[in-house]
Amino acid sequence: MSLAQLVGPFREIGDLKRVHVAGRAGSIADHAFVRAWSALAGGADPTTVADAECAAAVAGARLAGLDATVLHDAGLTRDEARAVRTRAIDEVGAALTDDTRRRLVEAPDPVEDLAHVPPFAHTLVDQPRAGATAPGRPRMIVEPPEDHGEHCWAVAVYGALVAEDLGADPGEAFLLGLAHHLHNVAVPDAGFAGEILLGDHLGSMLERLTERELATLPTALADRVRGLLTARADADTPLGRAFHAADVLDRVLQVHHHARAAAFTAKDALVDLELVHESPVSAYHDAVLTEAGLLP
């Protein structure tokens, strides 16, 4: 599996940070982040949660909010809804290994139960990320900023999707991605520039704050997360490589998103994306736009 081939699918998955559904707070990514933590805190197996959320993310890259709940409510049977999801997974996940894609197709749908959400999950969804900062330089502001829930969700999904190819466990990679910014529950993000200014205080401060949030989880889950967090120290283990690949890809793809958005033109929508697509009334649409002077 080539990382270069995964950039396109990961970019599409990451765009779920920017897709919203009526009646639901936050982005689809935010909702998935909170939903995953609720399942884990409720005792669900991390690998099962990882498979379900990764399948939803890959399919969601094309289906957006058309998830199983919506499709069932619209009258599709379970098999019909699964067939729709499978087509989306096959379309978006062509660059994934056969084993990974098969695992996603066979995965259950995420359980829409938010009864066990740890309080920190909601706070991380509310906590903006700093974006690109550098010591000694003014902050570069981009709007809208992503939040920590969105970033952690993306790192969890990307990490789980590359895990097997790197010899890591997908469930562990997913759980590590979800948990790697627990300290930002209490610490607003000042970015790399802020971390440098904190100096020797940084390490001990982040460790104390992480432990404070781990204490709110069931003991077994907290112990497992605590053990996985040590993999952030380097990229010498399969888990460390999966995590750091996912983390750096998400950070850079986020910057690419803002650059693409700034450069977007009407021609991109009308020509490349076929905003006014072929239909029985295409000739009339073209005539209207020509008269209005709106064709590129």
Quick check: 1 pLDDT over 70? no
pLDDT reported for residue 2: 82
Residues 257-291 have pLDDT tens digits of 988 888 888 888 878 878 888 889 889 898 898 88
Average pLDDT over residues 121-131: 95
Same-domain status, 186 and 272: no
Same-domain status, 289 and 153: no
Three-class HEC string of the chain: CCHHHHHHHHHHHHHHHHCECCCCCCEHHHHHHHHHHHHHHCCCCHHHHHHHHHHHHHHHHHHCCCCHHHHHHCCCCHHHHHHHHHHHHHHHCCCCCHHHHHHHHHCCCCCCCCCCCCHHHHHHHHCECCCCCCCCCCCCCCCCCCEHHHHHHHHHHHHHHHHHHHCCCHHHHHHHHHHCCHHHHCCCCCHHHHHHHHCCHHHHHHHHHHHHHHCCCCHHHHHHHHHHHHHHHCCCCHHHHHHHHHHHHHHHHHHHHHHHHHHCCHHHHHHHCCCCCCCCCHHHHHHHHHHHCCCC
Domain housing 25: 3-120+133-264
Q: At 208, is the pLDDT very low, low, confident or very high (cuts 50, 70, 90)?
A: very high
Q: Is 208 exposed, middle or buried (0-12, 13-18, 19+ CB in 10 A)?
A: exposed
Same-domain status, 116 and 249: yes
Same-domain status, 235 and 293: no
Examine residue 40 and state whether it is found in any structural domain, yes or no.
Answer: yes
Residue 128: φ, ψ to 5°: -70, 155
What total of structural domains would you count in the chain?
Answer: 2
pLDDT reported for residue 270: 78
Same-domain status, 233 and 288: no
Instruction: Let me know: does 32 contact 109? Beta carbons within 8 Å.
Output: no
pLDDT reported for residue 268: 81
What average pLDDT does the chain have?
A: 94
Same-domain status, 228 and 290: no
Same-domain status, 145 and 162: yes
d(CA 149, CA 163): 21
d(CA 162, CA 118): 27
Average pLDDT over residues 220-233: 97
Average pLDDT over residues 35-59: 98
Examine residue 128 and state whether it is found in any structural domain, yes or no.
Answer: no
Same-domain status, 183 and 277: no
Examine residue 220 and state whether it is found in any structural domain, yes or no.
Answer: yes
pLDDT reported for residue 206: 95
| Proportion of the chain above pLDDT 70, given as a percent | 100
Examine residue 125 and state whether it is found in any structural domain, yes or no.
Answer: no
Same-domain status, 142 and 289: no
Examine residue 98 and state whether it is found in any structural domain, yes or no.
Answer: yes
Quick check: 198 pLDDT over 80? yes
Average pLDDT over residues 223-250: 96
Examine residue 109 and state whether it is found in any structural domain, yes or no.
Answer: yes
Quick check: 296 pLDDT over 80? no
Same-domain status, 74 and 194: yes
Residues 8-32 have pLDDT tens digits of 999 999 999 999 999 988 999 999 9
Residues 65-115 have pLDDT tens digits of 999 999 999 999 999 999 999 999 999 999 999 999 999 999 999 999 999
CA atoms within 13 A on the CB side of 105: 18
